[in-house]
Amino acid sequence: MRTRRKSVGGVIYHVMNRANGKLSIFKKRGDFEAFEKVLGEALERWPCKLLAYCIMRNHWHLLLRPREDGALSELMRWLTVTHVRRWHTSHGTVGIGHVYQGRFKSFPVASDAYYLTVVRYIESNPLRAGFVERSQEWEWSSLSLRDAADKDGLRLAAGPVELPRNWGRLVNVLPGETDLAGLRNAMQRGCPFGPEDWVRKTAGRLGLEGTLRPRGRPKGSTKEGSVVRGAGGKARNKGGRPKTSINKRTRSL
């Protein structure tokens, strides 16, 4: 069952989506520019602040802070639908297949050092992918705007934490495995990313408690009719009777 989304104003969200079947939907310069244009238009329509972004060849990352409840979902719906329609028109594929693999994924981000970790993760994405030797060489990210690139209609808002003065060096140092593991878990499960107490409180506030629960069947639980182990490891049916050995010949009768 999908976790119900509750986008709340004032909360920072990392948002991403991937192309269907790992298709490279951003190949030429015009593809990247077209998405940036749609993103700029979406930010004008809906009350959300853009804190960071990066467009890769088959996916993208956004860091957004909606100013009103529900604004994030509305912006993402308009952004995705509009981009898909324009992409199909531009590539002559109207009515043929899906552009994205599904709905966007998102998770809340704490407004402290964890925020800086996410921004660094987003802006160093091309470096980790091996597309460039320095993150600054990738034109299609918020890092280019920080370096005074002029992109009509696309502006970055100030974040809750000021970037360190050595940010240009930090985005060229790959994040450690601990940070990456935490981020990947948040992206896969949609759980809040931040300090433990904040994560628990935010999950409760936004109805995301299910994203914190361990996956799989609770320890010690069994399905009806399943085999459990009795004392000494002897196999028994759920009712407590010893399991009867059935050979292949008997099973085929």
Q: What is the pLDDT along the chain (253 residues), one digit of tens a residue?
A: 444 556 899 999 999 999 887 788 898 999 999 999 999 999 999 999 999 999 999 999 999 999 999 999 999 999 999 998 888 887 777 656 678 877 889 999 999 999 999 999 999 999 999 999 999 999 999 999 988 777 877 899 999 999 999 999 999 998 888 888 999 999 999 999 999 999 999 999 999 999 998 876 555 554 444 443 444 444 444 444 444 443 433 333 3
Contact yes or no for 81/41 (Cβ under 8 A): no
pLDDT at 91 (0 to 100): 74
pLDDT at 30 (0 to 100): 94
Q: How far is the C-alpha of 161 from the C-alpha of 144, rounded, in Å?
A: 19
pLDDT at 175 (0 to 100): 80
pLDDT at 218 (0 to 100): 54
Residue 13 sits at φ, ψ, to 5 deg, of: -125, 135
The CA-based angle 194-197-200, given to 5 degrees, is: 85
Q: What dihedral do alpha carbons 151, 124, 167, 75 form, nearest 10°? A: 50
pLDDT at 230 (0 to 100): 42
Chain position carrying tokens 């920072």:
12
Q: How far is the C-alpha of 247 from the C-alpha of 237, rounded, in Å?
A: 17
Could you tell me how far CA 169 lies from the centroid of its own chain?
25
Contact yes or no for 199/193 (Cβ under 8 A): yes
pLDDT at 76 (0 to 100): 94
Residue 250 sits at φ, ψ, to 5 deg, of: -65, -40
pLDDT at 110 (0 to 100): 97
Residues ≥6 apart with Cβ < 8 Å to 221: none
Name the packing angle between helices 113-123 and 177-189 (round to 10°): 90
DSSP state of 228: E
Q: How far is the C-alpha of 109 from the C-alpha of 65, rounded, in Å?
A: 10
**pTM for this model (two decimals):** 0.80
- CA distances (Å), 5 to each of 46, 83, 118, 208, in order? 18, 22, 20, 8
State the CATH architecture for 12-212: 2-Layer Sandwich (3.30)
Q: Where are the domains of the chain?
A: 12-212, 222-253
